Amino acid sequence: MRKFQIYEDKFRCHCEHPKGVKQSRSQKKDCFPIVLSAKYLYSFVIPSEARNLVVRLLRDFVPRNDSVKNCYGQHTMLAMITIFALLCFFLLSFDAYSQGLVVMAKKVSGDLPLEADNSAWNNASAIEIPLAPQVMAKPRTYESSVKNLKVRALHNTKEMAFLLEWSDASEDSSLDVDKFSDAVALEFPSSAAASKPHFAMGDKDNPVNIWFWKASWQNANDMHSTYATSDEFAGGLEVGNPVSRARISPVENIIAQGFGNATDLEKADIQNISGNGKWQSGKWFVVFKRPLTSQDKFDVVFREGSVTPLSLAVWNGSEGDRGGRKVVSTWYYVALETEEKETIYFYPVLAFIGTLGIEAGIIMGIRRKRG
């Protein structure tokens, strides 16, 4: 707090200063918002060392002079610094992108592959997402051998496909009372979400849309062999439990509004997500594919050029993972590449360099004037 007051003082606009020379209303109006935004930025966004540096710069380069002219000079300086700081911010975001916060869905032509070994995937760059045990709700997990997962994405303006790849020493694809299946899920904010949901299964107002793939569903031979039975009655089937019915697909479309609330959205006739998984020498490769749009109001919708939050969960059957026993990520993002790819990502950089130049010019100009 004390520090902040010091900056307040340093930033005190000369035109507001009691000793300041009278100036016209319009002049006052002009400089006020700039000062405010600069103050805001400095106090909240910029780390304290940077703030100190800026304050020192101001003190050294902008003499306190009560002339209106110089007051303008100071404000221009402030504005420049603000823009500079904002650009730094953008750069930081770009840095984050390169560190893997955003999965870039490569735009390709033709059909999207459902197989992991299709060469189309070579076009997509992978990002590695760290996974941590779920400890928000009981039953919790504290240890897991699954530490991260690689994501690749493709789109062809009509469909979206994800390839997920992670290490798992054992292929767990059949169930038994003490045997659980490997599985993976992609989570997106539901289209019905009021705002960005919590990554851990969403909440009542902010549902999440989950694409769930399970190895035991992939394993078509997982029909438990039966012995002599006298009737066909099966509780789960009678009431239409989606877990019980014969699998038409290894994936399931789920909507969740908090822990323990996942509801299956799949109606037999709306089968809009397809999936395919394959375990090979200690690794799972799972592909999800869906049209960019969907009729269901809860389903996530993708648009070319848009950025959508995404999070992931992995279950390792041999470690007893099921339900809430899983490893999860926080929110990451998936961006759908557009035509203007080069320019769209080049513009900010260009703008940055341009501004730098202008800024340097102005600073030099101010100095010259002062000198």
Partner 1 sequence: MAKNKVKNWQIQREMYYPYEEVRPQKQFAAVFDINKCIACQTCTMACKHTWTTGKGQEYMFWNNVESKPYGFYPLAWDVKILDLLGPQKWEGKVYKGNTIFEAAPKGQVAQGYIPEEIDWAHPNIGEDEPSGSIDKGDFITMPHKVWHFYLARICNHCTYPACVGACPRKAIYKREEDGIVLVDQKRCRGYRECVRACPYKKVLFNNTTKIAEKCIGCYPLAEQGHQTQCVTTCIGRIRLNGWLHTPDKPDPANPVDYLVHIKKIALPLYPQLGLEPNIYYIPPIHVPLPYLIQMFGPDAANAVAAYKNAHKDETLLGALTLFGSTEFWSAKFRVSKGIVTGYGEKGKELVKVPLKEPVFIRPFHDEKLQVYRHNIT
Q: Which residues bind partner 1 (CB under 8 A)?
A: 135, 137-142, 175-180, 224, 226-227, 229-241, 243-244, 259-262, 320, 322-324
State the minimum distance, in angstroms, from the CB of residue 268 to partner 1.
16
State whether residue 308 is helix, strand or coil. strand
State the minimum distance, in angstroms, from the CB of residue 307 to partner 1.
32
| Residue 222: closest CA among 180, 280, 279 | 180
- Give dist(CA 244, CA 236) in Å, integer: 5
For the chain, helix (H) and strand (E) counts, in that order, are 7, 14
Q: What is the dihedral of CA 18, 22, 27, 30, to 10 degrees?
A: 10
> How many whole angstroms from its chain centre is CA 1?
33
Q: What are phi and psi of 258, to 5 degrees?
A: 110, 170
User: 184 and 166 in contact (C-beta within 8 Å)?
Assistant: yes
Q: Strand 307-315 vs strand 332-336: parallel, antiparallel, or unpaired?
A: antiparallel
Taking the least distance from each CB to partner 1, the nearer of 7 and 315 is 315
State the minimum distance, in angstroms, from the CB of residue 316 to partner 1.
15
State whether residue 97 is helix, strand or coil. helix
Taking the least distance from each CB to partner 1, the nearer of 34 and 210 is 210
Q: Which amino acid is at 210?
A: I
What's the half-sphere exposure (Cβ side, CA atoms, 13 Å) at 260? 5
State the minimum distance, in angstroms, from the CB of residue 288 to partner 1.
20
Taking the least distance from each CB to partner 1, the nearer of 22 and 224 is 224
Taking the least distance from each CB to partner 1, the nearer of 44 and 227 is 227
State the minimum distance, in angstroms, from the CB of residue 170 to partner 1.
17
Taking the least distance from each CB to partner 1, the nearer of 5 and 226 is 226
Taking the least distance from each CB to partner 1, the nearer of 212 and 302 is 212
| Residue 186: closest CA among 157, 212, 220, 160 | 212
State the minimum distance, in angstroms, from the CB of residue 263 to partner 1.
9
Taking the least distance from each CB to partner 1, the nearer of 1 and 246 is 246
Taking the least distance from each CB to partner 1, the nearer of 320 and 354 is 320
State the minimum distance, in angstroms, from the CB of residue 147 to partner 1.
19
What's the half-sphere exposure (Cβ side, CA atoms, 13 Å) at 32? 8
State the minimum distance, in angstroms, from the CB of residue 312 to partner 1.
19
User: CB within 8 A of 216, min separation 6: which ones?
Assistant: 173, 174, 175, 181, 222
CB atoms closer than 10 angstroms to residue 10:
16
